[in-house]
Structure 1
Amino acid sequence: MPDVVVVGAGMVGAACAEALSAAGVRVLVLDRGAPAGGTTAAGEGNVLVSDKEPGPELDLAIASRREWPAVLDRLPEQVADVEWEDKGGLVVATTDPAPLEKFAATQRDAGVDAQLITPADAFELEPLLTRKVTTAVYYPDDAQVQPVLATTALLAAVRARGGEVRSGVTVRSVLRSAEGRVIGVETDAETIPCTAVVNACGPWAGAFGTAAGAPIEVLPRRGMILVTAPLPESVRHKVYDADYVGAVGSGDADLQTSTVVESTKAGTILIGSSRERIGFDDTIRVRVLRELAAKAVGLFPFLGAVPVMRAYGGFRPYAPDHLPVIGPDPRVPGLWHATGHEGAGIGLAASTGRLLTELFIGLRPHVDQEPFRVDRPAVVGTGESS
């Protein structure tokens, strides 16, 4: 019998399962689809400290960036290549430089290595960048990982320690004792006894929380990405316009796009990003793709002559106060949540797994858990997600 059933085999669920298993906890991971087949597969693999304002999420991002190397070192040797790149990030302004310079200063005060550089320095880092740049900030700690490879590697580590991963299994409900404590899960195939359940269902975490008797306010936020044909080396870092930070932190339901451009090891260029709260509508909207393409060409003019190979999108788990939901649910003893990371789940996964494990086995948390509590008003308030 497993100690913990993790529901959701995306990056965050896999990171929680890996950290728990590394601490000696018996883990079973269940997913109604394939591992890494949902939000994780629709991401860019960013591990960023550059895009967050000072506060709890930035603290978690800094801790997670430090934690990722330790997680990678624990992976089985045969799956250790997850295309980790310490590529660094470059944020540029093409209009008034003051807001970006002020933002970088606040980040430096919070412990981020945010290096203000001149446009000439930016062109040295990215020779094909538009000459309209007025100022830039270089973030050497920004990194990238291939999200599907990383997730499957984390799950392989769980298996190597005696845990189990099952795909194509839908969890229908959480079973509780007469006192209300978790005693198992009911799937579409069987009943599985356990002492704890982790809700790592990403954008579907709100629905799962409702089914478990503990509704939480987690909503889907749609994002789109363009992928170019493979190219020789042309974009060396993750590069984005300064307005990306505002889009990340916005709660606006309407469409927002901002310029993000980065390469992959396969030679393709990923172009984003968009944010739109439209429920689980997965319609491809041409106007969104046009906005992404036009803004990318504005940042890197050479892209105007580069063919787009495909476009893809996904739903990101959004909490109204823009903070992840990590920890035990006081309404249902034995129910835990790890969700609400929106587009930052890949980068925040390492510390999310560690934090949940520390709380589960009674260790002192390496970051303050209070801002991510399940029972905060933004998460257990209106019930809109149900």
Structure 2
Amino acid sequence: MKCEIISVGTELLLGQIANTDAQYISQELAPIGIDVYFHTAVGDNSERLKECLRIAWNRSDIIITSGGLGPTLDDLTKETIADFLGLKMVEYQEAYEHLQRYFKGKKITQNNYRQAYFPEGSILLPNNNGTAMGAILEKCNKIIIILPGPPNELVPMFKESVIPYLIAKSGYMIKSRVLRIFGIGESQVEDMIKEIIINQTNPTIAPLAKEGEVTLRITAKGKEEAIIDKMIQDMEEHIRDILGDYIYGIDDDSLESIVGQLLIKKGITISVAESCTGGLIAHKLTNIPGISSVFKLGTVVYSNEAKVDVLNVNSEVLKEKGAVSEETAIQMAQRIRQIGKTDLGLSVTGIAGPDGGTAEKPVGLVYIALAEDKNVICNKYNFNGNRLKNKNLASMYALDMVRRYLIK
């Protein structure tokens, strides 16, 4: 079944509020097998809303509206839908009694009583958090679902009334799994799994590039949950065979959550010395519950003086090689490990920008080192972003270095 969401409210078009309703509805419809093909936002204008309804009616099976159910004159959604469908607006005793219960004996103004009127033939949807009940209309094998705009009213109404109704109408469900990939770009990922993408039917594969990482969404559709789960699992295993360790997690995982879990599981302790990232790695790690059992020390040594005074980095190395160098990064990792008395020492030093770069050491140059008892590795990177992007990428590559060490 094809669905379209029409969000009503001039405030949406003015950018005064974000359209979280449409986002939420789309997220909830996918697992029950209803495909959302279009989102539309329209102001509080009856003629423009009617035009949106005409377009949606011709291309979708289900139309869901949000907003425009209040008591004021610019709340015209129900009236416009009734006019569009050629239906009368009639008073519903159920809605009238709901208003009386809501106001608990207080005086109800005449404009509030407008909320007791709905297009004839409506199936009313309870609202336990506001005055505006929702409604469902069925006509000509089409469904129109009318919902209030405030999320605290729409969300429970959708969960408690709309989802059960739609599940009964749809014989299918859709499930997805997101694979999270780090260390290669979107084009390389697509090239590596090109045959899968070309031949995809069910499940489908959708790549998406984000800052520093790529995600692959595997989506399967069917009538039995166990079969859908098996389809997704088989596809995931196929992709993992191709991409290997570039895949670091699934769904809501982050690099820091995976690294934190691995450190805790293996009982491996770590200390971190940061320069250009300014404490970002420590911040990300300390977002992970239970990390205090393994994360012992984090320090920001931004200046050369701090590198010498706090970490005892050799001043001659700083003078000859510079703060942004392999030699300095290695000493930082070794010293922080010793000071923290931990299994691992991680360090980052670089030029975040926008100033400070030279021809020899341009903005975006970063060295990341990881020291253990008898060995230290150091990688060189050249990032090409603004200051914040370079800091974030450096923190992500540092975490990935730890991840790869822990899974080897």
TM bin, normalised by shorter chain, reads under 0.3
TM-score (norm 1): 0.28
Higher RCO (CA-CA < 8 Å; seq separation 6+): 1
Q: Which has the higher helix share?
A: 2
TM-score, normalised to structure 2's length? 0.27
- Larger radius of gyration between Structure 1 and Structure 2: 2
